[in-house]
Amino acid sequence: MTAAKSKRPGRGVTKGISAQEVHDVEEMSAPRTPVIYEVVRRLGEDEMARPTTSLWWSGVAAGLSISFSLLAQAILEEHLPEADWQPLVSKLGYCVGFLMVVLGNQQLFTESTITAVLPVLKNLTPKTVWRMARLWLIVLAANFCGTLFAAIFCTFTPALPAELLQGMQEISRDLLALSWTEMLFHGVTSGFLIAAMVWMIPSAESAKFAVITLMTYLIAIGGFTHIVAGSMEANMLVLAGDLEWWRMLIQFFVPVLIGNIIGGTALFAAISYAQVKEEI
């Protein structure tokens, strides 16, 4: 009888939750959308404030790292049997370069299509637009130089077995099948997915690895085009003689760049800002 009474409110059991439990609830709750927005916006502010030298070498490092996406795919394809399910496994290699870049805090152009844009949307002035343009120009050029160096290194040095180099070139030839319009619209999807990844990371905590892998795997398995990862493939084609420089710039670089910017900026960044502008 005594034991039964002890379970009633007021007899040893406090109604509601304790202060510690309130703290636990706050810790376990997902951050509100304005909080995520502010985290990403401040990241953009920090990026735009970095010195030119820091942006450049971080961008070059990202270009070098992203080249491992193509290398990892070629390694997997070389060791997997030919089957209908092979691409489902080999495309996981595409995630490797992005994991190196994002977890290594290296500067990737497509990430800045949302991070650098949110501060501009909040405070649209010639100064903020210039800071965004400066960041984009430096990082894009640095990323491209990094992938170009990686392509030259893989093509003209004995760093890779001949079979592996041929595998990288064969994967790269998938770009040749896409028209200018397909490059553009595939780039829109890719830009949106990368921006979504950046938006998800602040609330992902220990799941960052899974978020990066999932979003970049979707890009790979869907055959969508990414300006930096794709530039490694395009450079490999140019160096192999399958594509002229001018064709690479006009048929790959321009449409994919426009598509990534539309997907990351005009779509995702603008929508993300619109949903919180009344709350910030």
pLDDT tens for 156-188 read 999 999 999 999 999 999 999 999 999 999 999
When computed from its CA atoms, the radius of gyration of the chain, rounded to whole angstroms, is: 23
DSSP E strands, 125-177: none
- Report how far residue 249's alpha carbon sits from residue 223's, in angstroms, rounded to the nearest whole number: 19
| Whole-structure pTM value | 0.86
Which candidate, 191, 199, 198, places its Cα nearest to that of 262? 191
- Asked whether 129 and 123 are in contact (CB, 8 A), the reply is no
**Domain limits, the chain:** 30-274
CATH class of 30-274: mainly alpha
Share of the chain above pLDDT 70, in %: 88
> 131-159: string of b/e by CB count within 10 Å (b at 16+)?
bbeebbebbbbbbbbbbbebbeebbeeee
> What is the band of 143 on the pLDDT scale with cuts at 50, 70, 90?
very high
- Report how far residue 88's alpha carbon sits from residue 101's, in angstroms, rounded to the nearest whole number: 22
Higher pLDDT, 276 or 135: 135
pLDDT at 32: 76
Model confidence pLDDT, tens digit, residues 213-240: 999 999 999 999 999 999 999 999 999 9
pLDDT at 276: 73
DSSP 93: G
Model confidence pLDDT, tens digit, residues 9-41: 445 445 567 666 555 555 555 667 788 888 888
Token pair for residue 15? 């109604």
